């Protein structure tokens, strides 16, 4: 009890210190706190005026009453014109004789689990009682009773004790009705209701309504044009969402026909084609097709499809296929099946199974090899999980907030004997081995006032196996990772790099930027020393009526590339939106 009174005393003094004036001392107050004849605390405080003394006395009395000392006696006396004494006799602290559950129902009692409901002979504290009442309201409002009210009934006070009973009025039971889309979005209401966690027929939850308004920011297909509204009728709650569709679909590409310098009288087809369709038919279905062929023998193909809420469940299923042909050296294929679940409006968890295959193409280069080449045939089956968190103001172009993603994969990799290579190269090798990889990325966005902003991003990854191959490693470099280098310039099994990008905004999605990228990459396949790539430059992100144009000029330096204007890189691209 003595510690509690001392804490009250200290809290009140802190309050008065914050609210008092910084003027020269005018009044000196000697304070004595007494409880049941025991001297608990003595202090001397200074106040700038008499009003500060009065406010302090009142604050002490109020604080004691909130702690169950209902009848404290405060005596304020003047020793001289500017010296006073304050004697505080707390009296006896009121205790709980009994706090009965009243008409609280079992389903609510199960969730409540409050020690106050067995509070016999425990000190009465208003904060604890208020917390209990608020918890009852919170449970009711999130389980179908948004109009619930609660109060104390049959209150009785005797012998410095108090007893009471809890009286609850649940009000009508409310369920969610069909969500209504009031903007021009063609997104289906049922899909949005599932995505936001407010399915028709489920009990009303105020928490889900609040989470739904935040979760809209993580849906790239739509934008909120005004505040959502909520109405109740016929024991049903209807949410009205004023949302419009955003231009997130893209279709662009270029095809070139050039004379084939390697094969006479033939043409070489080069180019790039990107097709990204999101929220197809208003059901959240996504389809992506990306093809690149920039030289005679190299090309890259990515195909991905996603189906949300498969078979009426809360699970999303996506499949993807990637093909990479690197000159005449190797050919990689990867197929992935992904099952995801929205844990909360900002958190997403997915599990995947991935099948990767790599094949050596340039066999003639290694016919006289005495050891296994750094590029070889392999098959790798991995399983893992990805966890992502998005707490940004705009999922397409964030300006404030942070986001992160981490992926872990584990599986068996098997070396495949290539019949074009000497069989002796595989002798003594462990052909099947365990391989794991970890990738993580975190980005932070900040914006000062109107025009100035900053993006900071940290990325890291590691891959480990006793038989790592060059055609199995991470690939870094280019516009999406370390600028100032060609796309996929670095082969690495371990990396860490930081992107720092100050921005000057002159439109919603338009800004000038400066940047610097710095990190470390390691490649233990070719036993090369670790490199410290560094790059800097500037650029422009420009929003147009047809899409977004991005231009970046960068200078980069690494162990394999010196710093110089003749090694500078221009990264640019245009993404058409419809």
Question: What is the per-residue pLDDT across 91-114, written as a single tens digit (0 to 9) for each?
Answer: 888 888 888 888 988 888 888 877
**Which pLDDT band holds residue 526 (cuts at 50, 70, 90)?**
confident
State the pLDDT at residue 231: 92
pLDDT exceeds cutoff 80 at 268: no
State the pLDDT at residue 353: 97
DSSP annotation of 565 reads: G
Q: CA separation (Å) from 229 to 179, 185, 240?
A: 11, 16, 5
What CATH number was assigned to the domain covering residues 95-169? Answer: 3.10.20.310
Provide the H-helix boundaries in 151-250: 189-196, 206-215
pLDDT exceeds cutoff 50 at 20: no
pLDDT exceeds cutoff 50 at 182: yes
Whether residue 333 contacts residue 321, with contact meaning beta carbons closer than 8 Å, is answered with yes
pLDDT exceeds cutoff 60 at 416: yes
Measured in whole angstroms, the distance separating CA 84 from the mean position of its chain's CA atoms is 56
State the pLDDT at residue 578: 67
State the pLDDT at residue 21: 43
Measured in whole angstroms, the distance separating CA 182 from the mean position of its chain's CA atoms is 28
What CATH number was assigned to the domain covering residues 175-245? Answer: 3.10.20.310
- The residue-averaged pLDDT of 511-524 equals 94
Q: Which of 35-49, 204-218, 254-268, 461-475 is most confident?
A: 461-475
State the pLDDT at residue 368: 76
- The residue-averaged pLDDT of 306-330 equals 91
pLDDT exceeds cutoff 80 at 403: yes
The larger pLDDT score, comparing residue 352 to residue 256, is at 352
State the pLDDT at residue 8: 56
Whether residue 354 contacts residue 321, with contact meaning beta carbons closer than 8 Å, is answered with no
Per-residue b/e over 116-125, b at no fewer than 16 CB within 10 Å? bbebeeeebb
Residue with tokens 């870094």: 476
State the pLDDT at residue 424: 84
State the pLDDT at residue 294: 65
- The residue-averaged pLDDT of 313-324 equals 94
- The residue-averaged pLDDT of 188-206 equals 90
What is d(CA 102, CA 88) in angstroms, rounded to the nearest whole number? 37
Q: Which of 84-93, 249-258, 477-486, 489-498 is most confident?
A: 489-498
State the pLDDT at residue 119: 61
State the pLDDT at residue 238: 93
Whether residue 377 contacts residue 414, with contact meaning beta carbons closer than 8 Å, is answered with no
Average pLDDT of the residues of the chain:
86
Q: What is the pLDDT of residues 480-496, one digit of tens each?
A: 889 888 878 899 999 99
Whether residue 320 contacts residue 303, with contact meaning beta carbons closer than 8 Å, is answered with yes
State the pLDDT at residue 520: 95
Provide the H-helix boundaries in 476-578: none
pLDDT exceeds cutoff 80 at 163: yes
CATH fold of 330-576, please?
Porin (2.40.160)
Q: How many Cβ atoms from other residues are within 10 Å of residue 76's Cβ?
A: 14
**Which pLDDT band holds residue 345 (cuts at 50, 70, 90)?**
confident
| 434 closest CA partner among 463, 405, 476 | 463
Q: How many Cβ atoms from other residues are within 10 Å of residue 272's Cβ?
A: 17
**Which pLDDT band holds residue 381 (cuts at 50, 70, 90)?**
very high
Least confident of 16-30, 49-63, 215-229, 390-404: 16-30
- The residue-averaged pLDDT of 32-41 equals 81
State the pLDDT at residue 260: 58
State the pLDDT at residue 500: 96
Q: Which of 78-82, 422-426, 529-533 is most confident?
A: 529-533
State the pLDDT at residue 60: 86
């Amino acid at each position: 009890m003595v510690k509690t009174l001392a804490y009250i005393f200290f809290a009140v003094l802190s309050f008065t210190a914050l609210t008092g004036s910084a003027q020269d001392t005018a009044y000196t107050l000697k304070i004595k706190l007494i409880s049941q004849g025991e001297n608990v605390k003595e202090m001397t405080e200074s106040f700038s005026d008499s009003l500060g003394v009065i406010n302090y006395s009142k604050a002490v009395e109020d604080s004691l009453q909130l702690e169950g000392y209902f009848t404290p006696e405060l005596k304020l006396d003047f020793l001289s014109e500017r010296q006073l004494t304050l004697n505080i006799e707390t009296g006896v602290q009121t205790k709980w004789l009994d706090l009965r559950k009243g008409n609280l129902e079992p389903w609510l009692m199960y969730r409540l689990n409050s020690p106050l409901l067995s509070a016999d002979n425990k000190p009465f504290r208003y904060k604890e009682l208020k917390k209990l009442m608020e918890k009852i309201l919170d449970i009711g409002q999130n389980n179908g009773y948004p109009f619930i009210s609660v109060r104390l009934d049959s209150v009785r006070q005797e012998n410095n004790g108090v007893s009471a009973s809890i009286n609850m009025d649940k009000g009508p039971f409310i369920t969610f009705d069909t969500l209504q889309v009031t903007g021009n979005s063609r997104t289906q209401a049922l899909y949005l209701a599932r995505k936001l966690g407010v399915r028709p027929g489920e009990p009303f939850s105020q928490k889900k309504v609040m989470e739904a308004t935040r979760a809209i920011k993580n849906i790239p297909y739509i934008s909120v044009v005004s505040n959502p509204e909520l109405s109740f009728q016929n024991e049903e709650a209807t949410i009205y969402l004023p949302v419009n569709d955003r231009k997130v679909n893209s279709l662009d590409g270029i095809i070139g026909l050039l004379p084939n310098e390697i094969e006479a009288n033939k043409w070489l087809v080069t180019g790039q084609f990107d097709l990204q369709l999101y929220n197809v038919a208003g059901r959240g279905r996504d389809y992506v097709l990306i093809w690149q062929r920039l030289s005679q023998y190299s090309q890259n193909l990515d195909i991905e499809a996603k189906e949300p809420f498969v078979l009426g469940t809360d699970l999303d299923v996506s499949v993807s296929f990637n093909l990479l042909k690197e000159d005449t050296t190797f050919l990689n294929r990867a197929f992935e099946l992904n099952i995801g679940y929205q844990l909360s409006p900002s958190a997403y968890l997915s599990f995947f199974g991935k099948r990767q295959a790599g094949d050596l193409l340039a066999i003639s280069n290694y016919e006289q090899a005495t050891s296994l080449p750094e590029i070889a045939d392999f098959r790798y089956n991995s399983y893992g999980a990805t966890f992502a968190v998005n707490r940004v103001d705009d999922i397409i172009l964030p300006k404030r907030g942070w986001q992160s993603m981490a992926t872990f994969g584990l599986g068996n990799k098997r070396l495949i004997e290539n019949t074009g290579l000497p069989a002796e190269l595989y002798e003594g090798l462990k052909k099947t081995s365990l391989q794991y990889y970890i990738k993580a990325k975190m980005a932070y966005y900040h914006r000062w006032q109107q025009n100035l902003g900053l993006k900071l991003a940290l990325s890291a990854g590691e891959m480990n196996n006793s038989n790592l191959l060059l055609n199995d490693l991470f690939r870094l470099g280019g516009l999406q990772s370390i600028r100032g280098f060609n796309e996929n310039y670095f082969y690495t099994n371990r990396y860490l790099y930081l992107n720092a990008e100050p921005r000057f905004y002159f439109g919603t999605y338009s800004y000038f930027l400066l940047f610097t990228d710095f990190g470390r990459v390691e490649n233990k396949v070719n036993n090369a020393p670790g490199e410290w790539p560094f790059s800097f430059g500037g650029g422009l992100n420009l929003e147009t009526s047809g899409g977004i144009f991005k231009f970046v000029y960068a200078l980069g330096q690494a162990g394999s590339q010196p710093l110089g204007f003749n090694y500078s890189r221009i990264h640019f691209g245009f993404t058409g939106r419809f």
